[in-house]
Every structure is written in structure tokens, then in C-alpha cells.
Amino acid sequence: MDDETAPSRADQLRLYLESLRIRMDPDQFRVLGRMITGPLKLIESGADTVDADIPDEDERFLTREVRDEFLVVMGILATGRMDQQVVDLGSGITTVVSAEVAEDPVRLQELRDWAAARRRQQEETDAVLRGIEQASQDDTVE
């Protein structure tokens, strides 16, 4: 397929979302749609952040499947590729990788090791911040 006939990212996204609409629970698909709206607004506006704005009553539909599909949709938007796979990096962290990476156990382990190191680093940072917060609270009590 040459570049002139290759589907655009928007076309790929429409196709993928249509397939999801057919196979997903309607409430889950509605929540996924709300999640996608935020990043699309972010892309359009050039803003730094935007909220997903999921109402409390819809939280129960925010399942692992919905989160995984959100990652796939964001992967399509970012890369224009539809062959990505969601992989578990451990401790509840998932990401989207290319099919080549998903099939490469060495590369997957490198990603899992990187994620574990980042988790440890974040835990250490959180512990330091808690210590600073506790020390500042102790100072104000005296």
C-alpha cells in the first residue's frame, strides 16, 4: 500500500472506534468516549493538560478493558499504527507497544525493569516528601 492510499490516522481511529462500539458494553464505550475527548481537546487546543471528566456514577464502567482500549486509541493517535498491543509492566502498570516489541521477551523485560526502577524511584521520592511534610508539621506544633 503506498502513501496515497494509506488510511489517515483519523480514518484508522474511526475504524477502530467503530469496531469497539460494536463489541463493547455500551456504558463502557460511553466512558471510553469521555476519556478520549480530553486528549482530543488537548491535541486541538495545544494546552498542557485536560481532565477526562468521568462522572462518579460512571466510575464503575471504567474497567481494565476500557483503560486498555484507551491506551490503544492513544497509541493509534500518536503513531498512526493499529498493530499495537497492551502489555503489563507489573504492579498494575500497562502500556502500549508495537507488535515487534510485544513479541520480544528481552525487550519486554527491559521495559519491565525500567518500570520497576521508576516505581522504586517514585516510592523513594514520595518517602522523602512525606518526611519533609511530617517534619514541617512537627515544627509548627512546637
108: pLDDT strictly greater than 70:
yes
pLDDT tens by residue, 44-84: 766 555 566 778 888 898 889 998 998 899 888 888 888 89
pLDDT tens by residue, 15-46: 999 999 999 999 999 999 988 887 777 667 66
CA neighbours within 13 Å on the CB side: how many for 34?
A: 16
> What residues form DSSP beta bridges with 96?
86
The overall pTM is greater than 0.75? no
Domain residue spans in the chain?
9-141
Residue 1 to residues 4, 5, 46, 100, 112, Cα–Cα distance (Å): 8, 6, 32, 20, 35
Q: What is the mean pLDDT of the chain?
A: 86
